[in-house]
Structure 1
Amino acid sequence: MTNLQRLWHRHSPQVFLGELLEKRWMEPVIPFTLTILVFVSFALLIPGFASASSLRQLSLSFAEQAMVAGAMAIAVLSGGIDLSVGAIFAMANFLTLYVYLVKDVPLPLVIALVVIFGAAVGAINGGLIAYGRTRPFLTTLVTLIVLRALYNKLTAAATDELASVAPDSPAWDFLGAGSVLGVPTNMAALIVVAVCAHFFLTRVRPGVHIMAVGSSRKAARHAGVNVKRTLFSAYVLSGALAALAGVFYAARQNSSGTDTGLGWEINALAAVVLGGISLAGGRGTIARAMMGAAIIFMLVSGLVRMGASGNITTALVGLILLVAVGFNVKWVKNKGKVQQKVYVVPSWVDFTPPPSIERGSGTPFAENDRLKGAEAIALGEIEGPEDIILDRNDHLYAVTRNGSIMRFLAPDYSRREEFARIGGRPLGMAFDRDENLICCVAGMGVYGVRPDRTVFKVTDRTNRTRTRLKDDSRLYLADDLDIAPDGRIYFSEATTRYELTDWALDGFEGRGNGRLICHDPATGQTRTILKNLTFPNGVCVSHDGKSVLWASTWLCQINRYWLEGPKAGTSEVLIDNLPGYCDNINRASDGSYWLALVGLRSPVYDLAMASPDFRIHMVKQIPPDEWLCPGINYGCIVKFDDHGTVLESLWDPGGQSHPTITSVREHKGWLYIGGLENNRIGRVRLPDADPQWNGWDSYWKGGADGTAA
């Protein structure tokens, strides 16, 4: 049973489900499924409901209601609401009939005038809301009342005139009862309008601005969007679309009754909410509004054909609206929590007891005090130097959590300057042959800084895994890098499932979510060379340039990927079962390597890694600040050789000066220390180290063939 459990947790189908729910195109799945279920249900319950003639008649009646729902959707996506769409629709229906049939105005001009009328009413709404700062609900409600009263007055006065005329126009007949390629004219117009509206809201700047304003007016304003003008335009479009629906309705019905458009604003609002468009604005699509409109339309039509009264159908629509609004509010509020609980899928990780770290135990990991007297550089002047590096002029560089790379000038490092501001969260660094500083930036990819301080992009994408549902071509968490003698850049991406803000969740999963990637500057191509790695972190090209060492943080092991030789293209474990969680790896002057341990294992955490159910209950039921985490209050550096033999360790017990050590660099007889949570850079003397050795010369002071010295 245990083996089956391991297999289940390591290949859990919940991983697929979590990534499926993360896809944006999954959001309309619920309204789409409901649309299909409602249609199939009525097709089974009502004879002839799914026949060709019935479908044509349904599409004829549906088109105008869907346009009105689209008008409502535009207003809601902007962060407001337009309760006047039903009244605008009714007035447009009357004006079309009156101006065309009674006043005998040419049809194209009639259509233009009626649409302009709808846009003008929308402009009144938009002007009051955007520039007068009135409430959308109350403003459009007043417009609804005024227009409905005006409509009732006008229809009563023009009843005789409208009844005495009979249209005799092929264009009018085509508009109301014609077809385009077998599709009713109004339905064809709906398709065109929906496609154009989708393109407008997702590809055209004014439409994108509507979505941005709906998402956050403050953020949109800071991004340079004219919020008032955008809100104004949203209501103008809403009014124009509702009026266009009235034109098609007039051509199809040739009548203007007192109940025309009555309650359509409620149906439109129910359609929008049922389609999954957020009432808070900024989230949703026109396609969802169309699906919601289809659900409402089929429910009402189906119930009427089954003999239900108008009161019942109205009550049903109201009930649907109430439930949909409640679900919408709850889902928007708790979506992140729900997705996290489904998305986090812990795997089974077996650990054996690690080597002893007890002081005097005789192991190379035995605790000591060699880091306690470390000299502090830039104390209190730097925040989170996750990686550090020195150039061949002895200047010291450090990344910071605010997106900058700071440079501390030799010889005493008392002077500092901002070498470059990249943005994001800079992490691992390396110098190339031309002394460009290449840097991994979480959430952005790999960037470079030239000696003149100009910043350039190296790469932000790799090849996509075709067998995976999630598009992993974008770099999520580029972590550390190193450069081979031929100039190729090898870097780790710690996880493809989580962003920097949630990187700890990858640790709770213990799953192979990371990869090792190679970028070739000569061709500009980036490709993944190893995937399904468990939080690959530190990367270091071996002294002979024939392999790449990489650290698997959560598995507490060092691996080797061969670049040359009989094992080229394969990876193997070099050191396993380390007593701590490994981070960056860098060269030492004697041909060995330095490794930073960011945290220590504990028996309790090892036990938790072998219990996926425990970890998933912890993530679901306990606040994040109370989760069980590895011990990170110890500072430790380990030295190992090319054979995987651990040679020695340096400790700061209790992490008083250097907790969470993530980077260690040797330079001219000194060892420099950086840490993810540190407020300083440490430095300790290495009495047996080569006082002239430096990292850049180790890589690039070689022959013309580019091999390292």
Structure 2
Amino acid sequence: MSPTGAFALAFLLLALYCGLDPFKQSAISGFPDFETYQIDPPSWSEVPTARDAQNSLQRAEVKFLNEVQGPESVAFDPQGRGPYTGVADGRVVFWNGESWVDFAYTSANRSNLCDWKPTPFSYMKDEHICGRPLGLRFNKRTGDLYIADAYFGLMKVGPEGGLATSLATEAEGVPLTFTNDLDVDEDGTVYFTDSSTKYQRRNFLQLVFSAENSGRLLKYDPVTKTTTVLMRNIQFPNGVSLSKDRTFFVFAEGAAGRLRRYWLKGEKAGTSDVFAVLPGYPDNIRTNKDGDLWVAMHCRRNPYAYYSGLYPKLRKFWLRLPIPAKYQFLLQIGGRPHAVVAKYSTDGELLKILEDSQGTVVRAVSEVEEVDGKLWLGSVLMPFLAVYDLS
């Protein structure tokens, strides 16, 4: 066989291997209905270029290493006690000043499947049994803790803790599939996100790769006990946080890398607009005592994520290659995990950016909670909390 013929044969065999994926190594193996969607991101010229040259998050203190697995959200009760955090085995735990103690759980069917495991990822296949508390918020008036459980929906537990009570598992006849974050207004109204009606949290990588647009922004009314859809067809909606004056709330558009503002009062009530274009891809948002908003971002934007978002057919072809999801995700985040957090004013102005661009200390961050001059950094992917001193 000539060199040209040998090359052609090798190319054909490689194409067949990639197309058939016989060893089921591709990131979308096992998802026969997987489809990719175009993302309409802000132009590069709109993306903030500010960087933290000091890599300030590398000075953060790692706390409770291997004591809390995947602490996504951080909350302090009305008396200032805590932190409370939801962990990968389905519990909400409380730091009492000396040790972690159980406070609440979301599944009534817990078993030894939910026992301690060495990494946050170890729990994923059983999350639908054990529960997975994500966003946490206290009602400062009643002391009730509201929980966005990825599998069991919107839940609430009283100040004494225990088994959480279900508030909502569907909206307008469509089940909550990936309940993610929430905030609670003074009258008990809850605003929350359902990141997808197709993918559960244990398939969050496929949701990231797909950028499908079944996500919803929701409202729970405590008087009528009904849940309504405020916005739909959102690509990976995530964090939610009310403004200090309660005239609007901000939520994260995960796929596009934006914050969107939803107006609750005034002439614009019931409408939304872009609040800020972010330097990266957001998770949770938290408002501090001054009314500024801290945004946790899993990574900065990078050319691969930007262009693959613009060309969904090319992205789907690439995802069909026998490249495991882990490595596809590394491409998506720019090659290595690295945490970025940013503070925005109530008008959407970027005030501060902190990062660990090498991922040496804070490799990932899901939430930033400011308390007494310190930032508590939670991460759904890491086995610890980190604390950064703003002073």
TM-score above 0.5: yes
Q: CA RMSD in A?
A: 2.1
Q: Which residue of 2 aligns with 1:405?
A: 92
Matched, 1:666 2:367: no
Q: Which residue of 2 aligns with 1:599?
A: 299
Q: Which residue of 2 aligns with 1:309?
A: none
Q: Could you give the per-residue CA deviations for residues 415-434 of structure 1, whole angstroms, max 9, x where no partner exists? A: 11111222311100100121
The correspondence of residues 171-320 of structure 1 with structure 2, limited to 5 A, is: none
Q: Which residue of 2 aligns with 1:444?
A: 152
Q: Which residue of 1 aligns with 2:73?
A: 387
Matched, 1:562 2:243: no
Q: Which residue of 2 aligns with 1:426?
A: 133
Matched, 1:343 2:34: yes
Q: TM-score, normalised by structure 2?
A: 0.81
Displacement of 1:350 in angstroms is 4.4
AA matched with 1:534? Q
Matched, 1:610 2:310: yes
Displacement of 1:444 in angstroms is 1.2
Determine if contact 2:61/2:388 at 8 Å carries over to the other structure.
yes
- Within 2, Cα distance between the matches of 1:640 and 1:393? 24
Unaligned 5+ runs, structure 2: 1-23, 107-129
Displacement of 1:342 in angstroms is 3.2
Bigger share in helix: 1
Unaligned 5+ runs, structure 1: 1-332, 358-362, 465-472, 688-709
Displacement of 1:405 in angstroms is 0.9
The correspondence of residues 49-198 of structure 1 with structure 2, limited to 5 A, is: none
- Within 2, Cα distance between the matches of 1:583 and 1:686? 21
Displacement of 1:613 in angstroms is 1.3
Q: TM-score, normalised by structure 1?
A: 0.46
Q: Which residue of 2 aligns with 1:396?
A: 83
Q: Which residue of 2 aligns with 1:683?
A: 387
Q: Which residue of 2 aligns with 1:621?
A: 321
AA matched with 2:213? G
- Within 1, Cα distance between the matches of 2:171 and 2:363? 34
Matched pairs, number: 336
- Within 1, Cα distance between the matches of 2:183 and 2:42? 29
Displacement of 1:669 in angstroms is 2.0
AA matched with 2:44? P
- Within 2, Cα distance between the matches of 1:549 and 1:350? 18
- Residues 388 and 520 from structure 1, CA distance in 2 versus in 1: closer, same or farther, beyond 3 angstroms? same
Counterpart of 2:179 (choices 456, 461, 478) is 478
Q: Could you give the per-residue CA deviations for residues 198-245 of structure 1, whole angstroms, max 9, x where no partner exists? A: xxxxxxxxxxxxxxxxxxxxxxxxxxxxxxxxxxxxxxxxxxxxxxxx
- Within 2, Cα distance between the matches of 1:570 and 1:394? 36
Q: Could you give the per-residue CA deviations for residues 9-39 of structure 1, whole angstroms, max 9, x where no partner exists? A: xxxxxxxxxxxxxxxxxxxxxxxxxxxxxxx
Which stretches of structure 1, 4 residues or more, deviate above 4 A after TM superposition? 354-357
AA matched with 1:616? K
Q: Which residue of 1 aligns with 2:121?
A: none
Displacement of 1:343 in angstroms is 3.1
Q: Could you give the per-residue CA deviations for residues 160-189 of structure 1, whole angstroms, max 9, x where no partner exists? A: xxxxxxxxxxxxxxxxxxxxxxxxxxxxxx
Q: Could you give the per-residue CA deviations for residues 364-403 of structure 1, whole angstroms, max 9, x where no partner exists? A: 4344322212122211211111111112333211111110
Which has the higher mean CA deviation after the structures are superposed, 560-569 or 608-617? 608-617
Displacement of 1:639 in angstroms is 0.2
Q: Which residue of 2 aligns with 1:517?
A: 218
Matched, 1:638 2:324: no
Q: Which residue of 1 aligns with 2:7?
A: none
- Within 2, Cα distance between the matches of 1:518 and 1:535? 17
Percent identity between matched residues is: 28
Greater Rg by CA: 1
Greater relative CO (CA pairs within 8 A, separation 6+): 2
Bigger share in strand: 2
- Within 1, Cα distance between the matches of 2:189 and 2:100? 31
- Within 2, Cα distance between the matches of 1:502 and 1:389? 26
- Within 1, Cα distance between the matches of 2:54 and 2:281? 18
- Within 2, Cα distance between the matches of 1:580 and 1:341? 30
Q: Could you give the per-residue CA deviations for residues 541-582 of structure 1, whole angstroms, max 9, x where no partner exists? A: 110001110011110000000111100111110112x22101
